[in-house]
């Protein structure tokens, strides 16, 4: 039993040590349910400050409504960023790490921590 526990722990640590699969925004929809790094250019940002959860939407890969991928940042996470997402990310290339989900036929990742999104150099 001790050997099985050690194998499980080693496997988990190994998986955490290696970076996730990196995919372009145009292919994010092929990775629903997977933890990946999605990268692409932000073509627009929309902050719904009066909506429940105060979501911010980053349209990645194309302008809304043709964007193949959306990054969602709710108000609680938005407060943790160094600046407003509109200033930080609009027009820039970003990479976001997380589990790709489908919402109304489009791929998205909900960012829950600032370190899950970065500007792609």
The CATH number linked to 44 is 2.40.50.140
- pLDDT value, residue 19: 55
- pLDDT value, residue 10: 44
Split into its structural domains, the chain has a count of: 1
* Tally of CB atoms within 10 A around 42: 23
User: Does residue 64 belong to any structural domain of this protein?
Assistant: yes
- The DSSP code for 6 is H
User: Does residue 98 belong to any structural domain of this protein?
Assistant: yes
Residue whose pair of structure tokens reads 């829950």 in the numeric block: 112
- pLDDT value, residue 65: 96
Helix (H, G, I), strand (E, B) or coil at 114: helix
pTM of the shown model: 0.84
User: Does residue 78 belong to any structural domain of this protein?
Assistant: yes
CA distance 115 to 92: 17
Point out the residues of the chain with pLDDT beneath 50.
4-15, 17
- DSSP for 25-67, written as a single string: GGGGGGGTT-EEEEEEEEEEEEE-TTSTT--EEEEESSSTTS-
Query: In degrees, to the nearest 5, what angle opens at C-alpha 51 toward C-alphas 50 and 54?
Result: 85
- pLDDT value, residue 13: 46
CA distance 5 to 9: 6
């Amino acid at each position: 039993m001790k050997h099985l526990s050690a194998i499980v722990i080693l496997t988990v640590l190994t998986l955490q040590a290696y970076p996730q699969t990196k995919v372009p925004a145009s292919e994010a929809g092929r990775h629903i349910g997977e933890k990946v790094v999605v990268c692409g250019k932000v073509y627009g940002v929309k902050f719904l400050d009066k909506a429940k959860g105060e979501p911010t939407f980053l349209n990645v890969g194309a302008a809304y409504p043709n964007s193949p991928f959306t990054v969602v940042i709710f108000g609680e996470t938005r407060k943790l960023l160094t600046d407003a997402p509109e200033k930080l990310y609009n027009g820039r290339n970003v990479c976001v790490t997380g589990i790709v989900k489908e919402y109304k036929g489009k791929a998205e990742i909900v960012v829950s921590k600032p370190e899950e999104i970065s500007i792609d150099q």
